[in-house]
Amino acid sequence: MRRGCLPPGVDRRRSRPLRQINDTRLRSRFTPAMRTTLTPAAIPAAYAIETVPRYTSYPTAAQFGPGVEEGLYRRWLSELDGTTPLSLYVHVPYCRVLCWYCGCHTSVLNDDARIARYARRLEQEADRVAAAMPNKGPVAHLHFGGGTPTILAPEDFAAVIARLKASFPFAPDAEIAVEIDPRTLTPEMAEALAGAGVNRVSLGVQDVDPQVQALVNRIQPTEQVAEAVALLRANGIARINVDLMYGLPTQTVAHVRATVAAVLALEPDRAAVFGYAHVPWFAKHQAAIDAALLPGAAERLAQAQAASEAFAQAGWVEVGFDHYATPDDPLAVAVREGTLERNFQGYTTDTAETLIGFGASAIGALPAGYAQNEPHLGKWAQAIDEGRIPVVRGVTVTAEDALRRAVIYALMSAFDVDCGALATAHGFAEDFFDDELERLDPLVADGLCRRTGRRVTVPAHARFHVRNVAARLDAHWAPQATRHSRAV
């Protein structure tokens, strides 16, 4: 019998309600004092090129399958008790120009009539999902992602938000966030965003060097970004995130430092620094990028470290392994208070247990499991036109999945987790993770983590490798070159 397993006939999945199992707050924090006592270590480069999930969900999308379809999703929606907050995600899978680095579900479309029809179908989907939910908690977060959500006409964007607000109760202080391409933001759209109640935006910057931009098909002068920021602030939208990247073709440490300096001059509140994942077998347009021009593992790590150092020098707070925030930002506060969360948007303050996804390919997360909409635009539209909710795949979350998610999220957010304590808190044997903890021994020897009994800590110098450590606690993970992105 596997260590940690209960005797035959005992069903540990019924040991606690799933809402309790999902609680990830039983964790200790990775404190500033711990950071100052740790010294850098040489970590073998093999870990940087290891392919591991980003763990924005658990189980990850690699485990999604056809077992979750409309009927089951409707049942999950009907079982929500309405006492806890909701999050909503709206996916707009269109762009005016395709950036070659992109790994998102999107396509180029310049047919405004088709985009308008997509908006109308989003409204229908919102009505249909809301009707399947007799009990609806208040919406605390609404996020528009893409693609480029602001490709919608201002009046269509306003109509979609109006329909969502008519279909779901919104908390008075709900965060409404939108991803924006600075190259296409117009005064009319900025005004529409403000009028619809948008109070946070995320601007894609990636890198400010013209040569790097040309090699990824995203020409975007820094002045254009500054104009977008000024336009948003003029309309009262003050909470601004920026998205940066490292590992792009011909990109160097100097490029990364220059990019961070340029965005700091714009005074945003948050930044995310993502490593480019070259997966042309999945995102076929990435074949336009010459792989010979991509930086190697050591250079990628140096670029990630350079961004971290630049934000630290500016007084920003490290949030997890790839986010940064000003000291008074809610994300930074969550780091200090040990309440940082993780979901499909990365690190967040969103504590909602239920996320409802709308639009082609959108993923929802419910206490019972994950559900993904039809990714094919034509089939998604057909499902909407036929009166269906377009969910076609997903995965049911078992009690063991929920426990592993709690442990992995705690590690990803706090860099420190007591596996034994979380196991017992979720109704499992204290030694449940002992096999996985043994798998960490080589990583301990190589400086990626430390073990004290059943407690695992990722030291400051290894925080970029936290996904390597988390993968050893994942029951489904196995190294596969084409399954996930590189660790760094």
Amino acid at 311: F
Q: How confident is the model at residue 39 (pLDDT cuts 50, 70, 90)?
A: very low
Separation CA 480–CA 488 (nearest Å): 15
CA 406 to chain centre: 16
Angle between helices 187-195 and 154-167 in degrees, nearest 10? 10
Q: Looking at the predicted structure, is the pLDDT value of residue 22 above 50?
A: no
Average pLDDT, the chain: 88
Which residue carries 């630290």 as its tokens? 312
Would strands 363-366 and 369-373 be described as parallel, antiparallel, or unpaired? antiparallel
CB 485 within 8 A of CB 277: yes
Exposed/middle/buried for residue 290 (C-beta within 10 Å: 0-12, 13-18, 19+): exposed
Q: Is the pLDDT of residue 5 over 50?
A: no
Res 479: pLDDT? 66
Of the listed ranges 4-18, 316-330, 359-373, the least confidently predicted one is 4-18
| Region of 154 on the Ramachandran plot (φ > 0 left; ψ -120 to 50 alpha; else beta) | alpha
pLDDT tens profile 45-67: 788 878 888 899 999 989 999 99
358-398 pLDDT, tens digit each = 999 999 999 999 999 999 999 999 999 999 999 999 999 99
Q: Is the pLDDT of residue 138 over 50?
A: yes
Q: Which of 315, 346, 360 is nearest to 105 (CA)?
A: 360
The rounded percent of the chain whose pLDDT value lies above 70 is: 89
Residues whose CB falls within 8 Å of the CB of residue 207, separated by 6 or more in sequence, listed in order: 213, 244, 245, 248, 251, 255, 256, 259
- Flag the least confident range among 127-136, 342-351, 398-407: 342-351
pLDDT higher than 80, residue 36: no
What are 79-126's pLDDT values in tens digits?
999 888 999 999 999 999 989 998 777 778 778 999 999 999 999 999
323: left (phi over 0), alpha (psi -120 to 50) or beta: beta
Mind listing the pLDDT tens digit for each residue in 279-305? Answer: 888 888 899 999 999 999 889 989 999
- What is the 8-class DSSP label of residue 397? P
Q: How far apart are CA 30 and CA 102, in angstroms?
A: 32
Please give the domain boundaries of the chain with CATH numbers for all domains.
16-59+398-486 (1.10.10.920), 64-396 (3.80.30.20)
Residue 231 has pLDDT above 60, yes or no: yes
Instruction: Provide φ and ψ at 209, rounded to 5°.
Output: -75, 130
**How many C-beta atoms lie closer than 10 Å to residue 176's C-beta?**
22
User: What interhelical angle do 253-264 and 222-234 show, nearest 10?
Assistant: 30
Mean pLDDT is lowest, of 159-173, 252-266, 271-285, for: 271-285
- Element holding 177 (H helix, E strand): strand 170-180
Give the model's pLDDT for residue 281: 84
The answer on pLDDT for 422 being more than 90 is yes
Determine the average pLDDT of the residues in 467-474.
94
Q: What is the DSSP string of 153-176?
A: -HHHHHHHHHHHHHHSPEEEEEEE
Q: Looking at residue 282, what is its pLDDT?
A: 81
Q: Which residue shows structure tokens 């009505």? A: 127
More confident residue, 139 or 3: 139
Report, as an integer, the average pLDDT of 305-331: 95
Residue 318: pLDDT over 90 = yes
